[in-house]
Each structure stands twice: as structure tokens, then as C-alpha cells.
Amino acid sequence: MSRRAAVAATNPLAAQAGLDLVHGGGTAVDAAIAAMTVSFATEPGIVSPMAGAYVAVWPVDGDPVVVDGNVEMPGRGMPSEAFGRGVREIHTDYGGGITVGAGHGSVATPGAFAAFELAHERYGGAPWRELMAPAIRALRTGFPVGAAAASYLQLVHDSLFGWDEQTRAAVTGPGGGPARAGDLLVLPDLADSLEQVASQGATVLYSGDLGAALVADMRDRGGLITRDDLTAYEAVIRPALTSTFGDWTVATNPPPSIGGPVLTALLRLLADRPGGAA
């Protein structure tokens, strides 16, 4: 029996990953995780694998929930004088001109893969490795840089990524400058890391080899993430924030995330306009 699905994603590789999971017998949650992981791998500068994420799920036979994998403030066991170190100010023309804090001291405890794994355990159907496979394949064979990533890298290639030899190399195009739209990037080191996540699960990022490597790098370069931060991290399943607008009921992130409440407020303003709710 054929299966129908709609996948919204950042690029064709991510969308195809989601569709392939559905047609291979996976659930919608499997498809979403596969697509998001490809996006993490193939949108350099826009998103990052060691980030936070939310997974919104509305089961056919249950109430909507959000798997909260937001980042967390690190620094368990660190002396007070450590906070504020390891951060440098970077000015960029992005968004008309902004100044951001970057560096190891600005890095939070990651939560995305913890959320992905918890969502997969509760609502997935395909093997975990299959969810990671499309991203690993794209990183090993190469992926074209998208317009959004290329535009951002033109602004921050040197200031945000250029300070570290490995980071600079990852976002540098064939011409030696910032990767441009259509340039093919191959990132075998990231593929190797995702191979470990595929075979060992998200635990490798928190109590395994990848977590240990992260803690060591943070210690050496003025970061705050400690082993205690990683082992204490847990993704949380929360009841979704639901609102009804005309014939539509929308489920989104609840507090403490601010995104869901803001989106709900905007939708209510639109619904209150003449002809706004349909």
C-alpha cells in the first residue's frame, strides 16, 4: 500500500530524507527527525547538530505534545569567575548590523539529539540508524551549499568561523573563500561523529566518547560545559499549547519556550481581523 506524506524542509536533501523514511515504513516522527538531521548537517552557519530542538507530535490516538530539547545553561561545578570568560564580541552586517557574543564561553549544553532520541523511542518505528543514514551519506558524498547558508557565510566566514583551522576549513569553498551557493562541501569528520550517534545513540554525546571530547575542548578553550552538565541533561515531554482559530486547531511549544506563545498571539491577531479565521 502506498503512503502519502508532505515534508517541509530547508533543502531538497532534507525533504527527500523525510519522504524516504515514510515510504520505507517509518512514522511521521521518523521522517521529521531524518529531515532535521540532514538540515543540521547541510546548512552550515544556519543550524548546528549541537544545538537545541523541539519535536511537536500529535498522535492519532492522543493529545499533542512537544518534546523539549532546548539548550541548557552550563557550568555545574565551575567557579563563579569562570562565567563570562571565553566570549568574544563579533560585529556582523547580518540583519542590518548586529554584535554577537561567540566563543566557547557562549556555548550552551546541547539538547537536540536527546529530544530526537526520546521522540523516536515514544513515536518512531524505523531503526534509529536509518534516521541518521541520509545525513551521513550527504556529508560523505558532498552536498550543495544553499542560498541562505551561503549568504550568511559571506558575512561571518572570517569573523565567526575563521578563528579555528578546522571550523574555517568546513565552511570554505573550492575557491578558498566562503562557500558560495552551489559549492559542494564534504565533511567526513562530522559524518564520523554522526556514525557514532547512529550506532550508540544520543548517549555518546552525553556520557560517551563525543561527550568527553566536547568537555575536553571546553576545558582547554574557556568553555563552561562540564561532564556534570552533559550527564544531567534530559529532554522533557510537555503538553503542547493548543489554540483554535476558526476550523483549525494549532498545537505548538508551551512555556517556558517563548516561541509558541508568541506564535499563538500573532495567529489570534490575524484571526481577529475581518475574514482572518477560516
Say yes or no: 261 and 228 in one domain.
no
DSSP state string for 168-197:
HHHTB-TTSSB--TT-EE--HHHHHHHHHH
Q: What is the pLDDT of residues 12-31, one digit of tens each?
A: 999 999 999 999 999 999 99
Largest distance between two CA atoms of the chain: 62
**Nearest alpha carbon to residue 130 among 9, 12, 26:** 26
CA–CA dist 223, 264 (Å, integer): 36
CB 191 within 8 A of CB 140: yes
Would 7 be classed as within a structural domain?
A: no
Say yes or no: 201 and 263 in one domain.
no
pLDDT score of 131: 98
Q: What cell was used for 125?
A: 518505528
Backbone angles phi, psi at 90, to 5 degrees: -130, 125
Say yes or no: 16 and 31 in one domain.
yes
Q: What cell was used for 98?
A: 548586529
Would 250 be classed as within a structural domain?
A: yes
Say yes or no: 274 and 190 in one domain.
no
CB 109 within 8 A of CB 229: yes
CA–CA dist 165, 170 (Å, integer): 9
Would 129 be classed as within a structural domain?
A: yes
pLDDT score of 205: 98
Specify the amino acid at residue 90. Answer: I
Say yes or no: 116 and 232 in one domain.
yes
User: What is the reported pTM?
Assistant: 0.93
CA–CA dist 28, 124 (Å, integer): 8
Say yes or no: 203 and 221 in one domain.
yes
Say yes or no: 57 and 190 in one domain.
yes
Would 138 be classed as within a structural domain?
A: yes
The percent of the chain in helix, strand and coil, each rounded to the nearest 5, is 45, 15, 35
**Length of the chain measured in residues:** 278
Say yes or no: 138 and 207 in one domain.
yes
Strand-pair category, 184-185 with 143-144: antiparallel
Say yes or no: 35 and 112 in one domain.
yes
Would 178 be classed as within a structural domain?
A: no
Q: What cell was used for 155?
A: 558575512
CA–CA dist 264, 271 (Å, integer): 10
C-beta atoms surrounding 273 within 10 Å:
8
Would 5 be classed as within a structural domain?
A: no
Q: What is the pLDDT of residues 93-137, one digit of tens each?
A: 888 899 999 999 999 999 999 999 999 999 999 999 999 999 999
Would 203 be classed as within a structural domain?
A: yes
Say yes or no: 252 and 231 in one domain.
no
Number of domains in the chain: 2
CA–CA dist 20, 147 (Å, integer): 24
**Nearest alpha carbon to residue 186 among 165, 175, 170, 198:** 170
CA–CA dist 161, 169 (Å, integer): 9
Would 55 be classed as within a structural domain?
A: yes
Domain span holding position 251 = 243-278
Say yes or no: 135 and 253 in one domain.
no
pLDDT score of 7: 93
pLDDT score of 179: 96
Say yes or no: 235 and 249 in one domain.
no
Q: How would residue 278 be classed by pLDDT, with cut points 50, 70 and 90?
A: low
> Residue 1 pLDDT > 70, yes or no?
no
